[in-house]
């Protein structure tokens, strides 16, 4: 009987496709990869996985922002409009505010409405005469003053117009100046004086004599002692002395 072969080749090598050390033979066109190439491929694979994770995270954030943005009200004003509205509100914070009536003002108005018309001053009116200086050097014109005062306890009214005012300068019995001699454009002026209130009218005298009707220019008043008498209507003040130097 013939024996079964063990697969050995004519050269005495085993016939199972392995070498004498039991290793499989290499393919003629194959080459074993080095450890450096292996590590490089693993690094590239890791980088690709990282990029993929980043893309997935960005997509999730964008989707979440889209959902939140869709829930915001659509009528939100633009930045410029909101700023303008805020500025207008700060400029007029009480534009729509309606104040309450002033009770004191209402009371005053009611009191005024119930009061009667202001009466004539009558005997409560005081008339005084004065000058702005006691003595006037040569060339200085005196200022003649007529003063009215309400000496009563209630307001009163009086016609204090130039049509009723009189300024008269005398020296003894001689009338040196009278404002009625050359008066023009006399007027009526109604004024109301509160209790204790004074009101004055001033007239500058040019130191010239006057005559009835103001027909001709008078001469200059001579140095000496003079008196000013003022009146308003039928009320006449006490004389006020002064000196012309």
pLDDT class for 185, splitting at 50, 70, 90? confident
What distance in Å separates the CA atoms of residue 193 and residue 125, rounded to the nearest whole number?
Answer: 9
Residue 19 belongs to a domain? no
User: What's the structural domain count of the chain?
Assistant: 1
pLDDT tens, residue by residue, 94-141: 344 334 444 444 444 434 444 668 999 999 999 999 999 999 999 999
pTM of the model: 0.53
Residue 71 belongs to a domain? no
Domain ranges, residue 215 = 119-244
CB under 8 Å to 126, separation ≥6 — which residues? 148, 149, 150, 151
Pairing of strands 135-136, 240-244: parallel
Q: Where are the beta strands (DSSP E) in the chain?
A: 119-120, 125-131, 135-136, 143-150, 156-159, 165-171, 174-178, 190-193, 198-204, 224-232, 235-236, 240-244
CA 10 and chain centroid, separation: 121
The CATH number covering residue 205 comes to 2.60.40.10
Residue 72 belongs to a domain? no
Question: What is the arithmetic mean of pLDDT over 40-57?
Answer: 65
pLDDT for position 186: 83
Mean pLDDT (the chain) is 74
Question: What is the arithmetic mean of pLDDT over 155-160?
Answer: 95
Measured CA to CA in angstroms, residue 187 lies from 61, 161, 191, 199 at distances of: 92, 5, 13, 17
What distance in Å separates the CA atoms of residue 240 and residue 145, rounded to the nearest whole number?
Answer: 10
């Amino acid at each position: 009987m013939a024996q079964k072969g063990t697969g050995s080749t004519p050269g005495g090598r085993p016939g199972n496709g392995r070498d004498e050390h039991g290793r499989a033979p290499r393919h003629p066109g194959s080459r074993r990869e080095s450890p450096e190439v292996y590590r490089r491929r693993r690094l590239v694979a890791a980088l690709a996985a990282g990029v993929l994770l980043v893309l997935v995270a960005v997509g999730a954030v964008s989707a979440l922002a889209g959902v939140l943005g869709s829930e915001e009200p659509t009528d939100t004003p633009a930045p410029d409009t909101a700023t303008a509205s805020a500025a207008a509100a700060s400029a007029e914070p009480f534009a729509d505010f309606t104040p309450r009536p002033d009770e004191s003002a209402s009371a005053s108005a009611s009191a005024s409405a119930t009061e009667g018309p202001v009466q004539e001053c009558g005997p409560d009116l005081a008339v005084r005469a004065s000058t702005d200086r006691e003595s006037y050097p040569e060339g200085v014109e005196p200022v003649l003053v007529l003063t009215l005062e309400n000496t009563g306890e209630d307001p009163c009214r009086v016609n204090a117009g130039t049509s009723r005012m009189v300024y008269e300068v005398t020296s003894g019995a001689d009338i040196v100046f009278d404002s009625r001699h050359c008066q023009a454009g006399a007027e009526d002026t109604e004024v109301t004086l509160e209790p204790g209130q004074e009101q004055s009218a001033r007239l500058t005298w040019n130191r010239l004599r006057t005559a009835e009707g103001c027909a001709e220019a008078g001469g200059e008043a001579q140095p000496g002692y003079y008196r000013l008498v003022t009146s308003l209507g039928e009320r006449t003040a006490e004389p006020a002395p002064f000196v012309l130097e």
